[in-house]
């Protein structure tokens, strides 16, 4: 159910949960200090309690509410990439954020989203915590219709149109004196080199593991085969500029030269498989192992359960 900006602000302040648009994917939002609403988010998504939430803020100064000391480069990262699809995980004063939000960790994930409607909303409500607006394990929502598919037609959604990026933010985690990649996302890792002086490495394999990263994710009901033999495939997730066997049905992800376009389409195409009750599909994974393609490869690996 579409609601106005004013209604969204009112509901959030009353302790309700509302879906909000961002430039990456839709979020399921609550005010950061409304514990019942936060509990409701976990219930609605069927999300494990050890998977913490990102706090959406409207300015770098908002960070001062949660910590006195920022890790090195926090300000330059924020000034360069915010508002935008970057999430920074930093140590905080744990008293300032409910335990449920941060899954008992003494760190908190923050980002300033770029969508104008949500920026206007944040000015009215203050910081909002929001995971992606999908059932846990399923593909994220990039339209208000996706949110309604997962949470019902009466669920309140601030409609901001189709999300521009279509894939989640890149997460950087500050740990042991360095920034690490907690999750690949809409920004590729080499973009951080000019600021950090190094390309952040993946946190995977380091302890503690980035919570929430160990589950099957982004997955449609269909069985997904990664690459391999297209000759016997009935359904192919592939590229509009490539040739596949004629008998197969092509679900196009866009051009093989344009990873941004492909990421923009990815979740809609994965959801389409469910809408059409497709049982199995083969994915074309013949893409360069660099830049934003790494985000694509990571998402489809998780979506296929690999």
| 287 near ligand TXA, judged by CB under 6 A | no
Q: Among ligand TXA, Mg ion, none, what binds residue 129 when CB lies within 5 to 8 Å by partner kind?
A: none
Instruction: Give me the least distance between CB of 70 and Mg ion, in Å please.
Output: 26
Q: Pick the piece of the chain touching ligand TXA (CB under 6 A) from 3-11, 50-58, 60-68, 264-272.
A: 50-58
Q: Look up residue 291 and give its DSSP letter.
A: T
| 169 near ligand TXA, judged by CB under 6 A | yes
Instruction: Give me the least distance between CB of 24 and ligand TXA, in Å please.
Output: 3
The residue among 34 and 132 lying less far from Mg ion, judged by its C-beta, is 132
> Within 10 A of 136 (CB to CB), how many other CB atoms are there?
17
* SS3 category, 8: helix
The residue among 102 and 146 lying less far from ligand TXA, judged by its C-beta, is 102
Distance between CA 66 and CA 101 in Å, rounded? 13
Q: List the helix and strand counts (H, then E) for the chain.
A: 9, 14
Q: Look up residue 189 and give its DSSP letter.
A: G
CA 52 to mean position of chain CA atoms: 13
Q: Which of 19, 77, 105, 283 binds ligand TXA (CB under 6 A)?
A: 105
Specify the length of the chain in residues: 306
Instruction: Give me the least distance between CB of 280 and ligand TXA, in Å please.
Output: 26
Distance between CA 192 and CA 274 in Å, rounded? 36
Report yes or no: 255 and 240 within 8 Å, Cβ to Cβ: yes
Helix (H) or strand (E) holding 272: helix 259-275
Q: Pick the piece of the chain touching ligand TXA (CB under 6 A) from 9-17, 33-41, 51-59, 149-157.
A: 51-59
Distance between CA 291 and CA 296 in Å, rounded? 10
| 141 near ligand TXA, judged by CB under 6 A | no
Interface characters, 65-94, with ligand TXA (x: CB under 6 A): --------------------x-x-x-----
Instruction: Give me the least distance between CB of 119 and ligand TXA, in Å please.
Output: 13
Distance between CA 152 and CA 156 in Å, rounded? 9
Q: Which of 132, 141, 235, 268 binds ligand TXA (CB under 6 A)?
A: 132
Instruction: Give me the least distance between CB of 109 and ligand TXA, in Å please.
Output: 3
Distance between CA 110 and CA 155 in Å, rounded? 25
Sites of contact with ligand TXA (CB under 6 A): 22, 24-25, 27, 51-54, 85, 87, 89, 102, 105, 107-109, 113, 130-132, 168-169, 171, 173, 182, 210-213
């Amino acid at each position: 159910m579409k609601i106005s900006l004013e209604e969204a602000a009112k509901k959030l302040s009353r302790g309700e949960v509302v879906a909000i648009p961002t430039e990456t994917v839709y979020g399921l939002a609550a005010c950061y200090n409304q514990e019942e609403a936060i509990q409701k988010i976990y219930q609605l998504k069927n999300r494990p309690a050890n998977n913490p939430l990102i706090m959406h803020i409207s300015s770098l100064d908002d960070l001062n509410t949660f910590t006195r000391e920022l890790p090195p480069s926090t300000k330059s990262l924020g000034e360069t990439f915010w508002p935008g699809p970057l999430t920074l995980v930093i140590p905080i004063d744990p008293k300032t954020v409910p335990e449920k939000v941060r899954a008992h960790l003494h760190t908190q994930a923050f980002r300033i989203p770029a969508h104008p409607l949500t920026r206007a909303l944040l000015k009215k409500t203050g910081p909002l915590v929001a995971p992606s607006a999908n059932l846990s394990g399923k593909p994220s929502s990039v339209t208000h219709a996706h949110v309604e598919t997962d949470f019902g037609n009466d669920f309140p959604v601030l409609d901001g149109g189709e999300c521009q990026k279509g894939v989640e933010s890149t997460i950087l985690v500050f740990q042991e004196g360095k920034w690490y990649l907690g999750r690949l996302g809409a920004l590729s890792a080499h973009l951080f080199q000019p600021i950090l002086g190094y390309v952040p490495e993946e946190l995977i394999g380091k302890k503690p593991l980035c919570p929430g990263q160990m589950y099957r994710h982004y997955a449609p009901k269909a069985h997904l085969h990664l690459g391999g033999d297209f000759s016997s495939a009935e359904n192919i997730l592939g590229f509009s500029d490539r040739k596949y066997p004629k008998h197969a049905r092509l679900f196009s992800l866009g051009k093989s030269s344009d990873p941004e376009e492909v990421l923009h389409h990815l979740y809609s195409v994965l959801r389409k498989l469910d809408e059409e009750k497709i049982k199995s599909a083969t994915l074309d994974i013949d893409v360069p192992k660099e830049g934003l393609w790494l985000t694509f490869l990571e998402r489809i690996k998780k979506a296929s359960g690999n």
